[in-house]
Structure 1
Amino acid sequence: MAAKPAPPGECPQCWQHAHDKSAHRHLKWNEDCPQCVNHMVNGCPNITPKKKSRWF
């Protein structure tokens, strides 16, 4: 069963990998998901970064 669509402002890939068990089913028990590792290192390309706060 597929996960619900990602809510607005959320990365669709991160949402699917977090809520759909079939996203990582092809991996071995000690294998990292290359897509998840890429997101952890480089950030989510599907999300617009927030503006920096001007508060000091």
Structure 2
Amino acid sequence: MATRETPPGECPQCWQHAHDRAIHRNLKPRGDCPQCVDHMINGCPNKVPKKSPWW
């Protein structure tokens, strides 16, 4: 699968892991990807939080 261009405002790692099945192909059934788990626990370091119009 060809690498897709990451849309503006999206994390490149999150985007690739969501759209490229080859990244997770070597995991065991029901296995967790360490990079995805790290993003779920610690948040995405590549994405700048949007400013809320309320604050």
Where do 5+ consecutive residues of structure 2 fail to align? none
Partners of 2:2 and 2:28 in 1: CA distance:
21
Partner of 2:33: 33
Give the fraction of aligned pairs with identical amino acids, expressed as a percent.
67
Q: Measure the CA separation in 1 of the matches of 2:41 and 2:33.
A: 12
How many residues are aligned here? 55
The residue that corresponds to 1:45 in the other structure is 45
TM-score (norm 2): 0.85
* Deviant stretches of 4+, over 2 Å: none
State the shift of 1:2 in Å: 2.9
